[in-house]
């Protein structure tokens, strides 16, 4: 009768829930699907947590299904074992899906979770016995009821998602993604008893303490695992990265909680207060709620603790390699070791600064003091209490007699019948040494992350170069690589919707700038400090990348034809940097060599400029002996030695005497007269008014307009007055 009751309960839950959801979908009464899915996820998570957290699977007691004492016959034991594993993965996937809604996960639900849910119904009677034992039908069993509800919810949830997806077809790329993701999805949540049930205990008497070959293999694996995961995820979408890390951390948390059922928590001495245990809670909590500040505690503290635990494992001799307790130990410490590092390496949380380190150490101090008192308190009831190994000589024994002797100094006090005993010198040094190690590990992390960032930047740069090459080939449309992409802009500087912002800033330094400067004119660029003049100039000459839009120099695209574009440019920066140990002649020859200027051409041009700038007597002296004005002239000559089509000057007249200013102005006029472009920014309005053909005024990253000087003169408007009114009018 009871057996029939279980089937009736299951049938009612599964059929009624599934039918209701199906009818709601078909009649379009389910108006808020997102909210419904999230409610389903929360209910399913609660039901699974109750079932898994309160009850231990009876199948876990089987050691070696073929030669042990399985709950069922070998075939059904194996079937139930795999279904138990796959159900863990299914439940976690369903719980997380409504909060991420990633296509690959939806396909995983349709083609993996739904079949598993159906198989759970087919083998329900066997799964019940695997969960609650062969006597499950003799009396009413809460475990069986909880499992029935879980099966109904999983099937209903999977059906709902499958029906709403509208199609069972799957693109080839999604098939590939699905196949690649199945293995890590399952491995991260494998029940700790799976291997012992299937194969029995292997490696009886295996020694994992000390640097034995077996222990080294385990340690090397702890370094390889995060690298594999990093390279699998580093190019993925941030949303998928966060989902993957959350699934991974929760999957390992479920495995870890195998040792912490309800009856375990009834004894405070068994609470998961060890430092590495806290990481199992902190990492998923931080990923779920995006608690960055709490995360850095585990980043600085748990990683080091987990690594030390793997180096000095607290395991009894002769422990079998497939024993659930062995697997839980290493899954716990593997997770605490590499998960925080992966979270930072994959960019979910940023690399910490000094402030985060200090806050983490303060948090660690609070935790450490708390553990000292908990240890001292619980020792009154259980002498084996030793959270974080600060209450016993476990660590001291590994360090030698000097550490043991530190424990001889004790301090204690009474509260009623309770004695609180401490080891002040030993425990204080323990704390300080740990903080020192944490700081050292931070330094090591940063080295690895710097290497990883360089690797990522190089990969992105290679990818961009490849894409630029393809785009350039399309733009050239069969023309030679050295030909300009825009034949109509051969003697022009053109900005098309140019925008630039720095780093992660959301504010544009320049936004949608459009400008066209023609050969043969001197073009002035005016604007207050911080307006965006230098940003445009530096992007034009290739010092910094373009965020969006384009810049063309004499028909060459600055991004896609950067080398050819730079060959057309001579640049005089506002803050020049010269090799001052060289002579003026040596420096100019060096620049001429970079541009491939022939010896005949460079000597001809150099002699002309030396005459014009009155530098004949000083050209063979070291640059470090030059005055500011002389250095400025050397910078100008080096910018003109290859006779550029575009000469850009950023505040070129600052600090020059009147004679030098006259020389530079004459040089600018001559260069423009020869059909070239002279583009310069300056705050000296009078000079701009006297020598420029046209000007552009920029403020707050926006070009306010382009104006011809002759038009202003015809209207009798002074440039200084016009400039100030234009700037004020756009406040």
Give the DSSP per-residue string, 28-93: T----HHHHHHHHHHHHHHHHHHHHHH---GGGG-S-TTTS--SS-HHHHHHHHHHHHHHHHHHHH
pLDDT reading at 107 higher than 50: yes
Q: Give me the half-sphere count of Cα atoms (radius 13 Å) on the Cβ side of residue 302.
A: 27
DSSP element (H, E) containing 414: strand 411-415
Mean pLDDT for the stretch of residues 136-143:
69
pLDDT reading at 174 higher than 70: no
Which of 348 and 383 is assigned the larger pLDDT?
Answer: 348
pLDDT computed for residue 61 by the predictor:
79
Q: Kindly give, in sequence order, each residue whose CB lies less than 8 Å from that of residue 108, ignoring residues fewer than 6 positions away.
A: 93, 178, 181, 182, 185
pLDDT reading at 207 higher than 70: no
**Band of pLDDT at residue 164, cut at 50, 70 and 90:** confident
pLDDT reading at 136 higher than 50: yes
In the DSSP assignment, the letter for residue 640 is H
Ranking 227-241, 466-480, 647-661 by mean pLDDT, the lowest is 466-480
Nearest-angstrom CA–CA distance, 456 and 464:
12
pLDDT reading at 583 higher than 90: yes
Burial 101-127 (b: 16+ CB within 10 A, else e): ebebbbbbbbbbbbebbebbeeebbbb
Which of 114 and 470 is assigned the larger pLDDT?
Answer: 114
Q: Give me the half-sphere count of Cα atoms (radius 13 Å) on the Cβ side of residue 217.
A: 7
pLDDT reading at 328 higher than 60: yes
Nearest-angstrom CA–CA distance, 201 and 3:
34
> Residue 697 has which token pair?
């005024």
Nearest-angstrom CA–CA distance, 495 and 701:
14
Q: Kindly give, in sequence order, each residue whose CB lies less than 8 Å from that of residue 553, ignoring residues fewer than 6 positions away.
A: 493, 540, 565, 568, 569, 645, 646
> Residue 123 has which token pair?
């083998």
8 A C-beta contact, residue 249 and residue 355: no
8 A C-beta contact, residue 172 and residue 65: no
Mean pLDDT for the stretch of residues 129-147:
74
8 A C-beta contact, residue 657 and residue 689: no
8 A C-beta contact, residue 10 and residue 150: no
- Concatenated DSSP letters of 211-259: S-HHHHHHHHHHHHHHHHHHHHHTTS-HHHHHHHHHHHHHHHHHHHGGG
The correct CATH number of 487-728 out of 2.60.40.10, 3.10.290.10, 3.40.50.300, 3.40.50.2000 is: 3.40.50.300
657 burial via Cβ count (<10 Å: 0-12, 13-18, 19+): exposed
Which of 392 and 66 is assigned the larger pLDDT?
Answer: 392
CA 99-101-105 angle, to 5 degrees, is: 115
pLDDT reading at 504 higher than 90: no
Mean pLDDT for the stretch of residues 495-500:
93
pLDDT reading at 688 higher than 70: yes
DSSP element (H, E) containing 694: strand 694-699
What is the chain's length?
731
- The ranges assigned to domains in the chain are 1-200, 207-447, 487-728
pLDDT computed for residue 492 by the predictor:
92
pLDDT computed for residue 366 by the predictor:
92
Could you report the per-residue pLDDT of 224-248, keeping only the tens digit for each?
Answer: 888 888 888 888 888 889 999 999 9
CA 165-171-175 angle, to 5 degrees, is: 100
Ranking 21-30, 115-124, 327-336 by mean pLDDT, the lowest is 21-30
pLDDT reading at 317 higher than 50: no
Phi, psi of 156 (to 5 degrees): -65, -45
Mean pLDDT for the stretch of residues 161-175:
71
8 A C-beta contact, residue 712 and residue 557: no
Q: Where are the beta strands (DSSP E) in 465-597?
A: 492-500, 510-518, 522-526, 548-553, 556-557, 569-572
Could you report the per-residue pLDDT of 543-580, keeping only the tens digit for each?
Answer: 888 989 999 999 898 888 888 899 999 998 888 888 88
pLDDT reading at 347 higher than 50: yes
Mean pLDDT for the stretch of residues 41-45:
87
pLDDT computed for residue 641 by the predictor:
93
pLDDT computed for residue 140 by the predictor:
65
Mean pLDDT for the stretch of residues 249-274:
81
Cα dihedral sign, 469-470-471-476: positive
Considering 260-269, 353-362, 647-656, the range whose residues carry the highest mean pLDDT is: 353-362
Q: Give me the half-sphere count of Cα atoms (radius 13 Å) on the Cβ side of residue 81.
A: 24
Mean pLDDT for the stretch of residues 439-455:
79
Nearest-angstrom CA–CA distance, 414 and 416:
6
Place of tokens 């300009």: 484
**Band of pLDDT at residue 27, cut at 50, 70 and 90:** very low
Burial 173-206 (b: 16+ CB within 10 A, else e): ebeebbeebeebbbebbbbbbbbbbbebbeeeeb
Phi, psi of 623 (to 5 degrees): -60, -30
Nearest-angstrom CA–CA distance, 298 and 333:
12
Nearest-angstrom CA–CA distance, 356 and 535:
33
In the chain, what percentage of residues exceed pLDDT 90?
22
Mean pLDDT for the stretch of residues 40-46:
86
Could you report the per-residue pLDDT of 359-408, keeping only the tens digit for each?
Answer: 989 988 999 999 999 888 888 887 778 888 888 877 777 777 777 788 88
Could you report the per-residue pLDDT of 600-638, keeping only the tens digit for each?
Answer: 999 999 999 999 888 888 999 999 999 888 998 999 999
Which of 268 and 421 is assigned the larger pLDDT?
Answer: 421
Cross-strand partners of 523 = 679, 694
pLDDT computed for residue 20 by the predictor:
53
pLDDT reading at 356 higher than 80: yes
pLDDT mean across residues, the chain: 83
pLDDT computed for residue 494 by the predictor:
93
């Amino acid at each position: 009768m009871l057996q029939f009751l279980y089937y009736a309960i299951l049938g009612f839950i599964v059929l009624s829930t599934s039918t209701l959801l199906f009818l709601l979908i078909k009649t379009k009464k389910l108006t808020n699907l997102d909210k419904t899915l999230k409610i389903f996820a929360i209910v399913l998570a609660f039901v699974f947590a109750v079932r898994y957290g309160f009850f231990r699977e009876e199948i876990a007691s089987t050691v070696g299904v073929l030669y042990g004492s399985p709950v069922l016959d070998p075939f059904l034991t194996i079937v139930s074992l795999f279904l138990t594993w796959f159900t863990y993965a299914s439940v976690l996937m369903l719980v997380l899906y409504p909060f991420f809604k990633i296509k690959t996960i939806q396909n995983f639900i349709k083609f993996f979770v739904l079949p598993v849910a159906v198989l759970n119904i087919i083998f329900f009677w066997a799964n019940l016995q695997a969960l609650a034992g062969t006597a499950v039908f003799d009396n009413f069993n809460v475990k069986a009821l909880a499992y029935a509800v879980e099966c109904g919810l999983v099937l209903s949830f999977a059906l709902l998602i499958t029906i709403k997806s509208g199609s069972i077809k799957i693109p080839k790329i999604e098939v590939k993604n699905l196949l690649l993701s199945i293995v890590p999805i399952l491995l991260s949540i494998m029940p700790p008893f799976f291997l012992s049930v299937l194969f029995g205990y292997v490696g009886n008497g295996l020694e994992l303490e000390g640097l034995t070959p077996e222990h080294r293999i385990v340690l090397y694996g702890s370094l390889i695992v995060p690298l594999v995961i990093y390279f699998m995820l580093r190019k993925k979408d941030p949303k998928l990265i966060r989902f993957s890390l959350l699934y991974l951390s929760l999957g390992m948390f479920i495995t870890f909680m195998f040792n912490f059922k309800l009856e375990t928590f009834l004894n405070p001495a068994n609470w998961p207060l060890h430092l590495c245990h806290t990481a199992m809670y902190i990492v998923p909590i931080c990923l779920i709620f995006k608690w960055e500040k709490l995360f850095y505690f585990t980043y600085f503290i748990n990683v080091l603790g987990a690594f030390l635990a793997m180096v000095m494992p607290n395991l009894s001799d002769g422990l079998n390699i497939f024993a659930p307790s062995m697997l839980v130990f290493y899954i716990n410490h593997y997770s605490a070791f590499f998960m925080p590092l992966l979270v930072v390496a994959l960019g979910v949380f940023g690399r910490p600064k000094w402030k985060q380190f200090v806050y983490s150490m303060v948090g660690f101090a609070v935790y450490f003091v708390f553990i000292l008192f908990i240890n001292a308190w619980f020792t009154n009831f259980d002498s084996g209490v030793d959270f974080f190994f600060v209450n016993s000589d476990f660590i001291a024994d590994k360090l030698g007699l000097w550490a043991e002797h530190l424990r001889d100094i004790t301090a204690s006090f009474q509260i009623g019948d309770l004695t609180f005993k401490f080891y002040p010198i030993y425990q204080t040094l323990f704390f300080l040494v740990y903080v020192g190690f944490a700081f050292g590990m931070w330094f090591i992390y940063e080295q690895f992350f710097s290497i990883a960032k360089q690797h990522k930047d190089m990969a992105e740069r290679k990818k961009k170069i490849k894409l630029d090459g393809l785009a350039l080939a399309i733009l050239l449309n069969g023309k030679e690589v050295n030909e300009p992409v825009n034949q109509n802009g051969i003697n022009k500087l053109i900005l098309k919707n140019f925008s630039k912002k720095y780093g992660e800033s959301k504010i544009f330094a320049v936004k949608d700038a459009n400008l066209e400067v023609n050969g043969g004119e001197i073009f002035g660029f005016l604007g207050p400090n911080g307006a965006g003049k230098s940003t445009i100039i530096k992007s034009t000459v290739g010092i910094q990348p373009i965020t969006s839009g384009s810049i063309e120099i004499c028909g060459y695209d600055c991004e896609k034809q950067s080398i050819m574009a730079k060959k057309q440019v001579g640049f005089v920066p506002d803050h020049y940097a010269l090799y001052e140990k060289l002579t003026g002649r040596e420096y100019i020859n060096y620049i001429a060599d970079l541009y491939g200027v022939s010896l005949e051409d460079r000597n001809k041009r150099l002699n002309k400029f030396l005459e014009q700038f009155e530098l004949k007597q000083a050209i063979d002296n070291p640059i470090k002996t030059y005055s500011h004005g002389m250095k400025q002239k050397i910078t100008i000559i080096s910018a003109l030695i290859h006779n550029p089509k575009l000469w850009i000057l950023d505040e070129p007249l600052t600090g020059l005497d009147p004679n030098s200013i006259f020389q530079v102005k004459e040089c600018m006029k001559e260069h423009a007269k020869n059909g070239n472009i002279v583009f310069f920014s300056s705050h000296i309005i009078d000079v701009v008014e006297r020598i420029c053909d046209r000007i552009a005024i920029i403020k707050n990253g926006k070009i306010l307009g382009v104006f011809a000087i002759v038009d202003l003169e015809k209207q009798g408007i002074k440039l200084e007055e016009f400039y100030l009114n234009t700037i004020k009018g756009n406040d």
